[in-house]
C-alpha cells in the first residue's frame, strides 16, 4: 500500500520521495472494482497516493474521424495496467482535463524533447533540462512506455520517445508524450495526468515584526544612487517598518568620509535609527567581513546585497519569514528596471521620480535571475556561508548554501525588491567578466519591443514617441471616424439640397397663387 510520509526535515528529499511514489506505483490491481465507501473506523488511516491517470491515442498519419469513434485498438488501449485510464475515470474527451483556454492567460503547454524544453517566453526560447528535471521526465517516459507495452502487447522502450508537451493545471500536471511504434506504421500518443495530492503541513513558524533586519550594502562612493537609496529608506521604509538597520561598506577608504557625511544628512531626523559606515580597501578585502555583520544590536537577520537595493516595506516581512538559522536562506530575485529614458517616452510619459518607478510592469524591467544579487540569511550562518568573496558576497553565499546538506534555498521573484538602472562601463581589463558585463548592460537598456522601436527610429527615422500609450490604441479608428464624418457631411448636404428644392417649389406655388388672386381681382 502506497502512503504519504510526513516531511519534517528536508523538503527536497520529501519531494523526490513523493515523485518516486507517484511514478513507481505497484501494479497490484489488474482489475477495476467500483469504489466502496470507507468505513468510519478507516477514515483516519493514511490515504492512498492518487495514481497517474493515463489515456492513449494512436495516430495513423491521418485526420481523426468525427466523434473519435473507438475501434478495437482503442478499446485494447484502455486495459488497466496499474494506472487509472480514461475509461475508468469517465474522461474520454480529447481535451481533458481543461478544454477551454484563453489566448494569453490559459494554461499553455510547454514543448519538450529528449533533453530540452521550450517554454512560452520571449527571453528564453528554449533551454536544456536541469539534472533534476531530466531525471524526473525520464521516469515519466519510462512509466508511459511501460504502460504502452502492457496495453498494446508490444515492446515500447524509452528510446522510442519522440517528443511531447506538458502544462500545469490547477488540479495537477498534464503530459502528452509521443512514441514511435516499432511494430506498426503509426505513432502513439499517451496522455498522462498527475493529480494534485493531499496537502501536508511541513512547518509552522511565527514571524516577529520587531526582528531587526540589517541591510548590508557595499558602495563605491557618495554617488547619486546612494543618496536616492538613503532618502528612500528614510522616507519610504522606516516610517512603516522601523525594525531596520544599515551597514554601508565603502570599498574605497578614500570615500568613507563622504559616505558618512551623506548618511548623517539623510538620517539626521531619525535619531534612533542604527547605521554605520565601514571602510575597507577593495584591494585587500573585497566585500564584507564577518565581524561587521555579526553585530548583535544591528539585527539577527542580515540582508546582503551586491548593489543598492530599493525595497518596499513588505519585503522585510518576507526577509524575516524565509530565514531559519542553520536550515533556510532566502535569495530573492529582484526586478531590475530598464533605462527610463528609453521606456517612458514610448508611453508618452515623462520620466518620474525614482521612487515612483519602483513598480513591476511590462516593458519597464525584468526579473534579474541570471545571478544571485541579494540574500537574506541568519546572522549566525554568515560564518559558514561567507568564506570566499572573490566573485562577490552573494554569489559566494549561494555556492556554500548549495553545497550544504542541511540548508534549504528559497529563490523566488520578489515584487518588492528593485534594482535601479545605472549605466556601467565595461573595460577589457576585466577579461573574465567583460562579456557578462556587456550582456548585462544590453539587457538593462530595455525590453525587446522598446529596443526594437529604438532601432527602427535610428534605421528609418520614425518617431515612436507615445506609441505604447493608450491614446495610440484609438489611432486605428481614425479612418473609420473620417468615413463617418464624410458620410454625415454627405447626408447633411443631401438634406439641405432637398430642403432647398422643397422651399423653391413652395415659393413658386405661392407666386402662382398670388398671380391667380390678382388676376381674379382685376376681372371683377
Are residues 314 and 416 both part of a single domain? yes
Please give the helix or strand (H or E) that residue 334 lies within, else none.
strand 328-337
- Give the model's pLDDT for residue 458: 64
Q: Establish if 152 belongs to a structural domain.
A: yes
Q: Establish if 77 belongs to a structural domain.
A: yes
Q: Three cell numbers at 494?
A: 443631401
Q: What Å distances lie between residue 375 and 208, 270, 385, CA to CA? A: 19, 26, 11
**DSSP state for residue 38 in the 8-state scheme:** P
- Give the model's pLDDT for residue 235: 92
Are residues 238 and 170 both part of a single domain? no
Q: Establish if 433 belongs to a structural domain.
A: yes
Are residues 142 and 275 both part of a single domain? no
- Give the model's pLDDT for residue 344: 84
Are residues 248 and 138 both part of a single domain? no
Three-class HEC string of 200-244 = CCCCCCCCCCCCCEEEEEEECCCCHHHHHHHHHHHHHHCCCCCCE
Q: Establish if 204 belongs to a structural domain.
A: no
Q: Three cell numbers at 71?
A: 475501434
Q: How far apart are CA 273 and CA 277, in angstroms?
A: 13
- Give the model's pLDDT for residue 354: 85
Q: Establish if 38 belongs to a structural domain.
A: no
Q: Quote the number of domains for the chain.
A: 3
Are residues 218 and 184 both part of a single domain? no
Q: How far apart are CA 306 and CA 292, in angstroms?
A: 16
Q: Find out whether 122 and 177 touch, Cβ atoms under 8 Å.
A: no
Q: What Å distances lie between residue 474 and 343, 347, 491, CA to CA? A: 21, 14, 25
Are residues 476 and 408 both part of a single domain? no
Are residues 142 and 261 both part of a single domain? no
Q: Establish if 205 belongs to a structural domain.
A: no
Q: How far apart are CA 416 and CA 321, in angstroms?
A: 15
- Give the model's pLDDT for residue 215: 93
- Give the model's pLDDT for residue 278: 84
Are residues 20 and 129 both part of a single domain? yes
Name the stretches of the chain with pLDDT < 70.
1-106, 120-124, 184-185, 280-296, 389-391, 428-432, 457-480, 524
Q: Three cell numbers at 375?
A: 540574500
Q: What is the secondary structure of 314-326 as a DSSP string? A: HHHHHHHHT-BTT
- Give the model's pLDDT for residue 100: 56
Q: Establish if 458 belongs to a structural domain.
A: no
Residue-range definition of the domain harbouring residue 304: 213-453
- Give the model's pLDDT for residue 176: 87
Are residues 447 and 480 both part of a single domain? no
pTM for the model: 0.65
Are residues 111 and 222 both part of a single domain? no
User: 161-169 and 172-180: which strand pairing?
Assistant: antiparallel
Q: Establish if 523 belongs to a structural domain.
A: no
Are residues 303 and 337 both part of a single domain? yes
% of residues, the chain, pLDDT over 70: 69
Q: At what angle do helices 11-23 and 131-152 cross, to 10 degrees?
A: 10
Are residues 158 and 65 both part of a single domain? yes
Q: What is the secondary structure of 248-286 as a DSSP string? A: EEESSGGGHHHHHHHHHHHTTT-TT-EEEEEE--TTT--
Amino acid at each position: 500500500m502506497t502512503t504519504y510520509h510526513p516531511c519534517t526535515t528536508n523538503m527536497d528529499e520529501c519531494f523526490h520521495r513523493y515523485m518516486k511514489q507517484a511514478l513507481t506505483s505497484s501494479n497490484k490491481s489488474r482489475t477495476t472494482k467500483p469504489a466502496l465507501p470507507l468505513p468510519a473506523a478507516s477514515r483516519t488511516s493514511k490515504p492512498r497516493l492518487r495514481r497517474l491517470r493515463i489515456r492513449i491515442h494512436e495516430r495513423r498519419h491521418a485526420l481523426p474521424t468525427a466523434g473519435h469513434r473507438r475501434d478495437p485498438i482503442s478499446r485494447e488501449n484502455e486495459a488497466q495496467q496499474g494506472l487509472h485510464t480514461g475509461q475508468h475515470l469517465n474522461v474520454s474527451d480529447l481535451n481533458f482535463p481543461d478544454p477551454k483556454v484563453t489566448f494569453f492567460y490559459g494554461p499553455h503547454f510547454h514543448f519538450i524533447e529528449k533533453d530540452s524544453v521550450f517554454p512560452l517566453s520571449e527571453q528564453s526560447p528554449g533551454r536544456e533540462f536541469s539534472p533534476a528535471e531530466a531525471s524526473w521526465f525520464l521516469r515519466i517516459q519510462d512509466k508511459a512506455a511501460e504502460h504502452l507495452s502492457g496495453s498494446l502487447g508490444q515492446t515500447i522502450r524509452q528510446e522510442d520517445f519522440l517528443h511531447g508537451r506538458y502544462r500545469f493545471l490547477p488540479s495537477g500536471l498534464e503530459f502528452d508524450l509521443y512514441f514511435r511504434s516499432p511494430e506498426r506504421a503509426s505513432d502513439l500518443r499517451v496522455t498522462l495526468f498527475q493529480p494534485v495530492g493531499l496537502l501536508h503541513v511541513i512547518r509552522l513558524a511565527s514571524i516577529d515584526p520587531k526582528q531587526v533586519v540589517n541591510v548590508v550594502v557595499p558602495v563605491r562612493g557618495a554617488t547619486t544612487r546612494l543618496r536616492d537609496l538613503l532618502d528612500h529608506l528614510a522616507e519610504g521604509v522606516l516610517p512603516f517598518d522601523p525594525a531596520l538597520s544599515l551597514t554601508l561598506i565603502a570599498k574605497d577608504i578614500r570615500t568613507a568620509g563622504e559616505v558618512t557625511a551623506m548618511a548623517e544628512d539623510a538620517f539626521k531626523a531619525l535619531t534612533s535609527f542604527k547605521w554605520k559606515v565601514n571602510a575597507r580597501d577593495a584591494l585587500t578585502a573585497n566585500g564584507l567581513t564577518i565581524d561587521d555583520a555579526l553585530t548583535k544590536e544591528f539585527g539577527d537577520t542580515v540582508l546582503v546585497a551586491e548593489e543598492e537595493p530599493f525595497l518596499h516595506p513588505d519585503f522585510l516581512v518576507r526577509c524575516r519569514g524565509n530565514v531559519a538559522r542553520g536550515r533556510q536562506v532566502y535569495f530573492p530575485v529582484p526586478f531590475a528596471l530598464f533605462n527610463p529614458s528609453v521606456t517612458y517616452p514610448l508611453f508618452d510619459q515623462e520620466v518620474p521620480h525614482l521612487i515612483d518607478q519602483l513598480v513591476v510592469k511590462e516593458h519597464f524591467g525584468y526579473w534579474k535571475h541570471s545571478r544571485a544579487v541579494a540574500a537574506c540569511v541568519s546572522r549566525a550562518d554568515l560564518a559558514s556561508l561567507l568564506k570566499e568573496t572573490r566573485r562577490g558576497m552573494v554569489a559566494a553565499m549561494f555556492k556554500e548554501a548549495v553545497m550544504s546538506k542541511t540548508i534549504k534555498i528559497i529563490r523566488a521573484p520578489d515584487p518588492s525588491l528593485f534594482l535601479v538602472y545605472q549605466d556601467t562601463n565595461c573595460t577589457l581589463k576585466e577579461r573574465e567578466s567583460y562579456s557578462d558585463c556587456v550582456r548585462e548592460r544590453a539587457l538593462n537598456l530595455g525590453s525587446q519591443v522598446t529596443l526594437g522601436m529604438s532601432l527602427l527610429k535610428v534605421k528609418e527615422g520614425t518617431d515612436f514617441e507615445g506609441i505604447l500609450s493608450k491614446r495610440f490604441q484609438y489611432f486605428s479608428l481614425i479612418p473609420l471616424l473620417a468615413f463617418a464624418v464624410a458620410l454625415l457631411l454627405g447626408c447633411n448636404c443631401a438634406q439641405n439640397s432637398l430642403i432647398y428644392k422643397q422651399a423653391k417649389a413652395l415659393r413658386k406655388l405661392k407666386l402662382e397663387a398670388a398671380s391667380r388672386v390678382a388676376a381674379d381681382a382685376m376681372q371683377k
